[in-house]
Amino acid sequence: MASARLSSEDEIESFLAREPKWSRDGDTLVRSARAATFPVAIGWVVAVADVAELMDHHPDIDIRWCTVTFRLASHDLGGITPADLELALHIDGIVAP
């Protein structure tokens, strides 16, 4: 479920320091990953969708052949929340390095 507050700058910077696959684009966390095949990329999307549904917190996902880009922000609060940081960690557990 989406958090009721925005993450602090310290929380975001600490997360980015620990999780180098993620970057920040304004008020959004971003990660791209390249899959070995298109079906693998789609599998990642399906697995992330399952987690997002359980969390009731949904990322923006862009699929370009074997490259999948995840963008996380809580649009209703206008920025990055603890739920975005949590979902990013779930995505890391799904998407190959």
pTM summary value = 0.92
Residue 97 is predicted with a pLDDT of: 64
Phi, psi of 88 (to 5 degrees): -60, -40
Residue 55 is predicted with a pLDDT of: 95
Report d(CA 7, CA 95) in Å as an integer: 24
Which segments in the chain show pLDDT lower than 50?
A: 1-3
Q: Domain segments of the chain: what residues?
A: 9-94
- Identity of the amino acid at 46: V
CATH classification code of 9-94 = 3.30.1360.20
